[in-house]
Amino acid sequence: MLDQARNIALLLARVATGMIFLVHGYQKFATMGIAGTTAFFESIGIPLPGVAAPLVAALEVAGGIALILGAALPIAGTLLALDMVGAILFAHLPAGFSVGEGGYEFVLALAAASLAVGFTGGGALALDSVLGRRRAAAAA
């Protein structure tokens, strides 16, 4: 029973964290637009904002989808955590910890969640697990 609960908990964590990244990445494309995201990145001192903006937007969309599906979890989790470290350093650190003040509380939680989900294997309901079982069965 504990294994079943663990699989459901991991699924919920993957989907919730993935949806947050997917929506934020989509906003960088559709709401702010890449030009607006680039201008924002430039205003906060992110190096090469014209390159960083579309890369971050694409990472957040693709990484969010990867978390939701449970695919390439160590890679997606690590890249999304690094994305959030950049958000902390460039955008949120000067405002302190509290999210209500624009601080890094929320992005720190996203970084930790990305790493936790990325390195737990995603549970039995993750695509990585399903494909791993198929590979193991084929090898046997």
Average pLDDT over residues 11-30: 98
Note the pLDDT tens digit of each residue in 72-109.
Answer: 999 999 999 999 999 999 999 999 999 999 999 999 99
| Phi, psi dihedral angles at 98 (to 5 degrees) | -65, 125
Q: Answer yes or no: is pLDDT of 140 > 90.
A: no
Q: Domain ranges for the chain, please list them.
A: 2-139
- The confidence band for 138, taking pLDDT boundaries of 50, 70 and 90, is low
Q: Is the pLDDT of residue 50 over 60?
A: yes
